[in-house]
Amino acid sequence: MSDEENNADSRQGIQSIEVGVPLLRVLADHGAPMMLRDLAKAAGMPAAKAHRYLVSFVRTGLVTQDANSGRYDLGHFALDLGLASLARLDPVRAATPVLDALAEETGETVALAVWGNMGPTIVRWVESRRPVTVNLRTGAVMPLLNSAIGRCYAAFFDSPQLRCQLEAELRINARADDVQARITRSDLDELTAEARGLGMARTVGGVIPGINAFAAPVFDHEGKMTLAVAGLGPAGLVPPHWNGVLPKAIRAAALAVSRELGWRGQHTSTQSSE
């Protein structure tokens, strides 16, 4: 631990604030007004002690109490704090340290993508420690049908532009010389259903032959997809299995960023081994 961290840990805080904050956390997580006894029990403190903290929280506007039912809920000042925090959130900035940690953990090439004017666009790219020939970089726009990032957006992102782009790619793909490489509307429906069921998308030798890739969605506080977290590697080192090391790490990273952005839903668990 650095000297700076030691100094931070040794700074004197206000213990009563730290003790009372779990009450606010319980109210935030519960999603509905609560009776004192239930709130105190969930926060792990005696009801009399919880009541004293709640009195102060009500006075500051962090908590409100219904005059008829006596139930407690988050107050107007808590809402103001939440909205101010959300207004300051930058999804890419929030995801960057998570992406760096993902690259360090897996040793594979990882990327962030956002929906841009031309489609899914890579905005952050971290190379693998091993030499891998991948002609993709920051600024690259990924196809919807044949890339893990594109399939992730097709499954989880909703916009008129995406739907139009999907139709255009399907028309072009239908004229492909390689019949085996063609993706029909039925194929696309199966791929998106699979991605939604497993919480992420994949390609096996899609855009780049011999390279397997996975991508998971990042959601904001409203449940809207705002980023895709992706990882890729040589087929010999990154098997196409859904329960492999890389896809599990990608889903965990995407969930961590979603939590940072205020999302409180649940990613679907990866069960398939195919």
Residue-wise pLDDT tens digits, 6-30: 444 556 667 778 888 899 989 988 8
Sign of the Cα pseudo-torsion (129, 133, 139, 141, in order): negative
How far apart CA 113 and CA 150 sit, in angstroms, is: 9
**Mean pLDDT of the 161-166 span:** 91
Coil/strand/helix, residue 124: strand
Contact 199, 270 (CB under 8 A): yes
Entry pTM: 0.69
The pLDDT of residue 8: 47
The pLDDT of residue 209: 77
- Name all domains of the chain by residue range, CATH numbers in brackets: 3-87 (1.10.10.10), 89-260 (3.30.450.40)
How far apart CA 179 and CA 183 sit, in angstroms, is: 9
